[in-house]
Amino acid sequence: MPLVDHLRELRNRLGISLLAISVGAVVGWVFYAELFALLQRPFDVLVDSLGQDDVRLVLTGISDAFTLQVKVALLAGVVLASPVWLYELWAFITPGLHRGERRWALVFVAAAVPLFLAGMAFGYWLLPRGLEILIGFTPEGVGNFIQVDRYLSFTVRLLLVFGLAFLLPVILVMLNVVGILTAQRLRSWWRGMVLGVFVFSAVATPTGDPWTMTILALPMLGFVAIAWAIAWVNDRRRRRHASAEPSYDDMDDDVASPLDESGPLPSGP
């Protein structure tokens, strides 16, 4: 496909994804109060466990409340539209597949959406522990008044990072299924994969502490190992089917096969 066609397809798929996210954002705008209460709950649990009154969320600007609602609505749009933009992502990555292979796009979405939501749920569970580590550095006698937009940015980044990190295994498996990535090649990359996972975890986690980095890196490495095992089984199955086909390696390309002239010749028009 020429570069212009690739860019045109990227534009179309981005447009569909943004439209789906916009529709989800409208739903998030309507249920803003419930969604913000859900995002604020880990902070409230932490404050109750600390028993301190000088740790709270605050707004410091006139337009901060409006900006906060927009951010919460957009986060809801990304989550609600995840089946759409995940499908568009896979369809753009693998545009040259045959019709029979394109059905794996639905399998990809069916596996990716639960993993994305599970990653976000795991990050939500981890959020109070990360907050406890960071707020624990507050000196005694000093109040910690946190701006709501900074807290929301911290929370959204953590949730999205864990959600996207949990997509890694299904991407690897789907690339193997369509014949782009083999288990042998994936195994040869294991040193780089381990290093890359820990670097990604260190950069992506907003807390910056090694504990949170390790909590993200270990499940990712486990998922990579599972993806390699599935790819290995699939490669064995593929080789077994290939061995049943007749071998043409001993045949010379320059030698014509003999024709059977015993039968009747086809009659012309």
Using DSSP's 3-state secondary structure scheme, residue 247 falls into coil
Looking at residue 196, what is its pLDDT? 81
Structural contact between residues 231 and 183, judged by C-beta atoms closer than 8 angstroms: yes
| pLDDT reading at 244 higher than 80 | no
Please say which residue of 143, 161, 179 terminates a domain. Answer: 161
Query: Which of the four pLDDT bands, split at 50, 70 and 90, describes residue 19?
Result: very high
- Tell me the C-alpha distance between 67 and 70, whole Å: 5
65 and 178 inside one domain: no
Cα distances (angstroms) measured from residue 198 to each of 134, 204, 223, 243: 20, 10, 14, 40
User: pTM here?
Assistant: 0.68
- Judge if 172 and 157 occupy the same domain: no
Is residue 267 pLDDT above 60, yes or no? no
| Domain count within the chain | 2
Residue 231 shares a structural domain with residue 142: no
**Does residue 65 sit in the same domain as residue 112?**
yes
- The per-residue pLDDT for range 138-184, each reduced to its tens digit, is 777 776 778 888 888 888 888 888 888 888 888 788 777 777 778 88
Q: What is the pLDDT of residue 262?
A: 55
Q: Are residues 8 and 113 in the same domain?
A: yes
Q: Looking at the structure, do residues 95 and 193 belong to the same domain, yes or no?
A: no
Contacts of 142 (CB under 8 A, 6+ apart): 54
CB 46 within 8 A of CB 132: yes
Same domain membership, residue 89 and residue 152: yes
- The answer to whether residue 122 sits within a structural domain is yes
Residues 99 and 231 both lie in one domain: no
The answer on 122 and 83 residing in a single domain is yes
Q: Domain for residue 154, yes or no?
A: yes
Owning domain of residue 173: 167-243
Same domain, 92 and 190: no
pLDDT tens for residues 47-88? 777 666 667 788 877 888 888 889 899 989 998 998 888 888
Stronger pLDDT, 204 or 27, i.e. the higher one? 27
pLDDT averaged over every residue in the chain: 77
By C-alpha distance, which of 144, 146, 189, 148 is closest to 54? Answer: 144
